[in-house]
Chain A
Amino acid sequence: IAGITQAPTSQILAAGRRMTLRCTQDMRHNAMYWYRQDLGLGLRLIHYSNTAGTTGKGEVPDGYSVSRANTDDFPLTLASAVPSQTSVYFCASSEGRIGDTQYFGPGTRLTVL
């Protein structure tokens, strides 16, 4: 069982370029999440999805968009990357009830120059 996979593992991107980070889970979880991790700030929620077909904004959604066409996939798109989006991005999933454990992918390290 793979759990959550993320691609790419790392990427260097020129400012202004469009980029999609991929996330796939095989646990049939209802809820999925995207976080960014920055030194000294912990993890901050970008967007989430409670179930396929629905999405919501987290704490830091500006500059990012998501879609949830099916249960397994939850891609994160940067329409026009800026250097402040340099970060490590983690995808997570859970069954979707309050108090459920969130399971995390290995992360994508993104550098925007």
Chain B
Amino acid sequence: AQSVTQLDSQVPVFEEAPVELRCNYSSSVSVYLFWYVQYPNQGLQLLLKYLSGSTLVKGINGFEAEFNKSQTSFHLRKPSVHISDTAEYFCAAAIQGAQKLVFGQGTRLTINP
């Protein structure tokens, strides 16, 4: 069974509009949760991560995510997107008791002018 599920493979939005990228995780993974971004033809870089504490996590480039234990979700949001946010976004979780990560399938965010 998939441990981390990203519900949308593609999300098109207009510039300056808000966006939410959805991520759900299963009980087979820990609650160490991550969002990574991959710009075209590049490797992945960390946007933000949740380890413990406040359920609202702020990351780079104006992104934030909210850990919701009851919904087993870790959705990524940005109130106003820019053309430069065009990229693929990956949700990931640490495997129980290990530093290995399991990734979701990815969501391609396309920003239209």
Contacts and interface: CB of A to CB of B under 8 A. Distances in A.
A74 interface: no
B74 interface: no
A107 B43 contact: yes
A55 to B, nearest CB: 13
B88 to A, nearest CB: 9
Given A42-B90, A42-B105, A99 B49 contact: yes
Interface residues of A, number: 28
Contact of A45 (B30, B42, B100, B105): B100
B100 A44 contact: no
Given A40-B9, A41-B105, A96 B43 contact: no
Contact of A42 (B32, B98, B106): B106
Interface string A84-113: 000000101010111111101111000000
Interface string B30-44: 101010100000111
B97 interface: yes
21 contacts: A31-B99, A33-B100, A42-B6, A42-B106, A43-B44, A43-B90, A44-B103, A45-B102, A90-B43, A94-B99, A98-B30, A98-B32, A98-B98, A98-B99, A99-B51, A99-B99, A100-B99, A101-B34, A104-B44, A104-B45, A107-B43
Interface of B: 6, 9, 30, 32, 34, 36, 42-46, 49, 51, 90, 92, 94, 97-106
